[in-house]
Structure 1
């Protein structure tokens, strides 16, 4: 019985994963590993280093052909008020594969230098190649002889407001409708737009406190079918001069099922010199729980070439 159910889940991922990938980089908890640029182009160039982050995400460990994603992100300041960034990613979900790249530009304005009030705008160009690997389809349909693939070009826009230790980011991903010429127009969604909002506050008791508490909220809405998810997060940072260690938790749920979470994920990480490490273990709380040991998210990073800009908006 267990084998049959695992087989069923695998087929489910291969067939219905097509709409789940939606020609974009999957958004789980990667942004919480001091890596918000993967979520919004408006973060490109915030910081006085060249920031490089490598991320590996393995979902639903124990289930064959479950989603698996790798990404490489880098961003840097150019001049006093602008930033550039890029992301490369590879994602597989059963028999569906996608590879892509995102190139971003951001511009940062200082609204009030004494109150540390800043406004940033970002724009990304996205290139995505989506492919269905039919190597294992022969038993289902011998008439299928070639891989099916399509290439998608799109854009993201974002804005970020910061005042002291408060931040609010609003973003729209995949703003151009998809070309349905190679798809079934009855069942395939035309709009791939995703709407993101991310806000939080970094609280310290006083200037000399080594402990910082950062509650935050991430909201994502999919235009194609109206579904939406929310992350409730809290992080605790302990500072050791310029280094720090953090721990926290994130709670994700569908917005029509607040009391029935998709997962709860403890998160830990550190910054030591210019090296970053982050780890998240997502504890699945739905029907897959009996067949999967959870989802692992690992982030490694390094900051290079400090001092690219003296503008306070880099912090």
Structure 2
């Protein structure tokens, strides 16, 4: 039991160490919201799209990570779009809030073969602090350090950039996040000043030859952290079924692993969702496949969405990718 507690604390502290301006990506992007990953998706679609996510990780473990986020993007011209995201993240006694403001521009490479190229940029503002109100005396430390007089709060600014290529149902997105070094305390040697990480998201939407209302969407999401060379990969598959009114429901599964441990997955999770008129709902569940599996009931995520102000663009480069 002692080893398990130490292992649990290591995971939580490790995530806190890399948490600032590096909010973990779970499966939010699979809930018909790739804007979670890349600013290049801002404005692609025929609506003002809003997606709210609520995520609770490692249910059953005290002070496990908890996250809420809100994403919205819409088209401002035939070839351009803007977006905004807000998030609130708690991990043990560390708290952070932030926002991203994004802009994307979309180009036609070839009209007849439906090849498009998109560029995006995001400005990030992040506030990070330690909730010292939760500190309590223990047997080993009967008196809280009197030098801790504030929340050690700090704010940072940064930028993300990305490029997206689309060819009919195929898509490939490459993003560089937090491209600027972070201001750090020169007297503390354990804080990383480089938060740069790269993300690749690619996949293809295939229409069933037997049923035109049925689509399959395999995809891969890769993330690499430049500071310590960590990397992970998601392998996903979704199946989407439409009705006569172009509403749909879908189901899928995601398999996440560290890239040097393919047969030792971090998470394995089913997911499902439905879109009815302008309303969207999705649920995702991730099983934690490590020593913590016996002490928590997994990670649960809910996505609720609304689409407003439908208006088809005159440029196919921003028309909805969902048929």
TM range (shorter): over 0.9
- Match in the other structure for 2:66: 68
Q: Distance in 1 between matches of 2:58 and 2:109?
A: 45
- Match in the other structure for 1:23: 21
- Aligned residue among 219, 222, 227 for 2:222: 219
- CA separation of 1:56 and 1:196: change in aligned 2, threshold 3 A: same
Establish whether residue 195 from structure 1 lines up as the match of residue 198 from structure 2. Answer: yes
Q: Distance in 1 between matches of 2:91 and 2:8?
A: 9
Q: Distance in 2 between matches of 1:34 and 1:56?
A: 15
Establish whether residue 94 from structure 1 lines up as the match of residue 101 from structure 2. Answer: no
Structure 2: gaps spanning 5 or more residues: none
Tell me, yes or no, if the aligned pair for 1:119 and 1:162 is still in contact at 8 Å: yes
Q: What's the TM-score once normalised by structure 2's chain length?
A: 0.92
Q: Distance in 2 between matches of 1:199 and 1:157?
A: 17
- Aligned residue among 135, 145, 151 for 1:147: 151
- CA separation of 1:231 and 1:15: change in aligned 2, threshold 3 A: closer
- Match in the other structure for 2:179: 175
Q: Distance in 1 between matches of 2:97 and 2:50?
A: 19
Measured against aligned partners, the alpha-carbon deviations of 1:266-301 in whole angstroms (never above 9, x if no partner) come to 010011111111110001111110110000011000
- Match in the other structure for 1:303: 307
Q: Distance in 1 between matches of 2:122 and 2:187?
A: 25
DSSP 3-state at the match of 1:135: helix
- Match in the other structure for 1:284: 288
Q: Distance in 2 between matches of 1:308 and 1:203?
A: 23
- CA separation of 1:23 and 1:96: change in aligned 2, threshold 3 A: same
Q: How far is 1:22 from its partner?
A: 3.0
- Match in the other structure for 1:238: 241
Q: What's the TM-score once normalised by structure 1's chain length?
A: 0.94
Q: How far is 1:208 from its partner?
A: 5.6
Q: How far is 1:308 from its partner?
A: 5.3
Measured against aligned partners, the alpha-carbon deviations of 1:188-232 in whole angstroms (never above 9, x if no partner) come to 212101100000011113496111110000000011110000000
- Aligned residue among 79, 82, 95 for 1:81: 79
Tell me, yes or no, if the aligned pair for 1:247 and 1:269 is still in contact at 8 Å: yes
- Aligned residue among 122, 125, 148 for 1:124: 122
Tell me, yes or no, if the aligned pair for 1:17 and 1:94 is still in contact at 8 Å: no
DSSP 3-state at the match of 2:153: strand
Tell me, yes or no, if the aligned pair for 2:184 and 2:193 is still in contact at 8 Å: yes
DSSP 3-state at the match of 1:235: strand
Measured against aligned partners, the alpha-carbon deviations of 1:46-68 in whole angstroms (never above 9, x if no partner) come to 00100000000100000011000
- CA separation of 1:142 and 1:109: change in aligned 2, threshold 3 A: same
Tell me, yes or no, if the aligned pair for 1:13 and 1:93 is still in contact at 8 Å: no
Residues matched between the structures, number: 312
Written as runs of structure 1 = structure 2, the 5 A alignment for 1:230-269 is 230-241=233-244, 242-269=246-273
- Match in the other structure for 2:212: 209
- CA separation of 1:284 and 1:14: change in aligned 2, threshold 3 A: closer
Structure 1: gaps spanning 5 or more residues: none
